[in-house]
A and B are shown apart, each in its own frame.
Chain A
Amino acid sequence: AQRVTQPEKLLSVFKGAPVELKCNYSYSGSPELFWYVQYSRQRLQLLLRHISRESIKGFTADLNKGETSFHLKKPFAQEEDSAMYYCALRLRNDYKLSFGAGTTVTVRA
């Protein structure tokens, strides 16, 4: 079965510093990877997906099949980036979305 690992439960950075959230997965096929975010008092929502190759709110994530990773990066963190971030995986054309345990990011002024 596929598995998603987020090794960091908590991540604290200063405003303006780079931030990187790690995500590793175990699956030998061609997965689709996602990052979901939950801001304080808001619902869980999609941040970005690897297929789109997009930058959302300054965040990017590159799928590295060799390292089976999908790390989320932002060069200059902002206070509004403080949130809970979940990495998720699904098999292509499947409906099961498997989530990691999540990383809580705190951006300090």
Chain B
Amino acid sequence: ETGVTQTPRHLVMGMTNKKSLKCEQHLGHNAMYWYKQSAKKPLELMFVYSLEERVENNSVPSRFSPECPNSSHLFLHLHTLQPEDSALYLCASSQDVQGGSGELFFGEGSRLTVL
């Protein structure tokens, strides 16, 4: 499969659960991103990885823990979340972190509901 793939597409979890979101890109890109899309709010950048190294942690609570084992895979580990964390979590990739066209390629998102 080409492009950016996210799993699961939908996730419902309790506040004490531990779950993970997975993102995989087949574009040969060097940079990967996690964005949060909440209702009525702009997309919020959460984390940025360049060649498996984290270059941005945008004041995200520690209950969100990213992992980038290689340049094709990105995870978002979730634990002890709050109901206000319910949102659509978008993964994206780009050729490089800086320069280039600036185009981001997005996955379809993982819809998270925290009960």
Interface positions of A (Cβ within 8 A of B)? 4, 32, 34, 36, 43-46, 49, 86, 90, 93-102
Contact = CB atoms under 8 A, between A and B. Distances in A.
B43 A99 contact: yes
Contacts of B106: 43-45
Nearest to A100: B42
Contacts of A43: 4, 106-109
Interface in B38-80: 40-43, 45, 48, 50, 55-56
B99 A97 contact: no
Contacts of B99: 93
Contacts of A46: 103-104
Contacts of A100: 42
B100 to A, nearest CB: 9
Contact of A34 (B4, B102, B107): B102
B15 interface: no
B102 A97 contact: yes
B97 interface: yes
Contacts of A99: 42-43
Interface in B19-45: 31, 40-43, 45
Interface of B: 4, 31, 40-43, 45, 48, 50, 55-56, 90, 94, 97-99, 101-109
A95 B50 CA distance: 10
Contacts of B108: 43
A98 B41 CA distance: 12
B42 A95 contact: no
B104 A97 contact: yes
B103 A96 contact: no
Given A44-B90, A44-B106, A49-B103, A96 B45 contact: yes
A94 B104 contact: no
Contacts of B31: 95
Name which of B4, B40, B42, B105 has the most chain A CB atoms within 10 A of its CB. Answer: B42
10 contacts: A32-B102, A36-B104, A49-B103, A86-B43, A93-B99, A95-B31, A98-B45, A101-B40, A101-B41, A101-B42
